[in-house]
Structures are given as structure tokens and as C-alpha cells.
Chain A
């Protein structure tokens, strides 16, 4: 079973470049979210979506855009990468329509911005 699939797993960017981190889930989950994980800071919510066509900001949304055109996909866009965006990014989904329930995480995408 695929679950939550993230691509790419590793990416190196130069400051100012743009890129998209892809996230797809095959569990028909309504809720999807993006987190970043930095040493000593836990997981911080960037953006989330409670269903197709609906997105909202989390704790640290600046510098990131998202869209949710289908239930399955939730891409995260970095418009102009900065060194402060060097991190490990995790996509997560939940069957609970945004209610507190189990979050299913992807394997992560490690991004380095030079």
C-alpha cells in the first residue's frame, strides 16, 4: 500500500530558486497538511487543507504556497527559496476530516537551500 507519497526525497536549491514538493495519498483522506521539521523544534505546521478546493495557513506559512485541486494531491510550492527554508518537509493526511485523529506521514523531503 502506497499511503502518503512525497517527491523528491532530496533537493538542493540556490537562494531565489523556486520548486514544488509533491504529495499524494491514495487513502481518500479529506485532511492533508504540510509540516517542516527542524532540529530541536519539533514539527511545525505550514499549511493544511480540509478538502479539495480548501486551504488555510498553519503556524509558519510565509514563503510557501499550496493548492488542493484534487483529494489525492497537495503540492507545496516555494516561490523564492531562502536558506531559512532548509529543513525536512513532511506531508501528512488524516481520515478524520480535520478532527484530531491519526496523522499518516510521508517519508519526508530533505531540502537544502544554499
Chain B
């Protein structure tokens, strides 16, 4: 089973600031997903990256998959209070959903 480490574990910033969270492993992923989870709800998929070096943008969120497909980052520009939540990365060893391994998450709080 792959081990996915996310950093930082907690992050509290002011509205308008930029931030980056990281997802790292010593193993190679076939694909990697990012989810956001709000209190009392289940995670919701933000993006899936598949190709090494791939960059995807979702409004103010930029996701990057490492060239070696062992790591990923999420960058948020001009954070807003609505970005508050738990951000989870999930890496797949192969092509099956049962092979998804979730990181422990980064709890982001954006203060107004």
C-alpha cells in the first residue's frame, strides 16, 4: 500500500493570500485525484491528473502532477473564505478505484 504524505497538516491564512499544499510519496502513481471536504459532508472531487508534469487549472486553483508521478501540489491564488475545507489527495497504484490511497489531508482555514 502506498503512503501519501500531505503537508502542511493545518494552514490558516488571511483572505487574498496565496498558498500551496503538497502531496508526496516514494511510489509512482498511475493517476492522482484531489478532493475537498467540508464539515459534515463527504469529499468532492476537484481534479484528476494522469500525465507526469501535467498542470490543470480550476479557476483560482492550480494542480500539478510531478514529472515522476510521485508527487503533486495544489496552489490557490487569492484565497477566499469559501476555500476553507479539508483538501485530500488520493493516488491510484493501478487502474482500479479500489487501489486509491488517500492522504491524511490539509485543513485550510481562510479568514475574512
Task: Tally chain A residues at the interface, Cβ within 8 Å.
Answer: 28
Interface residues of B in 27-47 (CB under 8 A from A): 30-31, 33, 35, 40-45
* Contact among B4, B43, B88, B95 for A100, CB-based, below 8 A: B95
Give the chain A neighbours of B33 by CB distance below 8 A.
100, 102-103
Q: How far is A17 from B97 in the complex, measured between Cα atoms in Å?
A: 31
Task: Tally chain B residues at the interface, Cβ within 8 Å.
Answer: 29
Beyond A42-B88, A43-B88, is A4–B42 a contact (Cβ under 8 Å)?
yes
Give the chain A neighbours of B40 by CB distance below 8 A.
107-108
Give the chain A neighbours of B101 by CB distance below 8 A.
42
Q: Are B42 and A48 in contact (CB under 8 A)?
A: no
Other A-B pairs, 9, CB within 8 Å; known A59-B1, A98-B97, A100-B100: A43-B90, A90-B42, A99-B95, A100-B31, A100-B97, A102-B48, A105-B42, A105-B44, A107-B41
Q: List 15 A-B contacts (CB under 8 A).
A: A31-B97, A33-B97, A40-B9, A44-B102, A48-B97, A48-B98, A58-B98, A100-B95, A100-B100, A101-B97, A102-B48, A103-B35, A105-B41, A105-B44, A107-B40
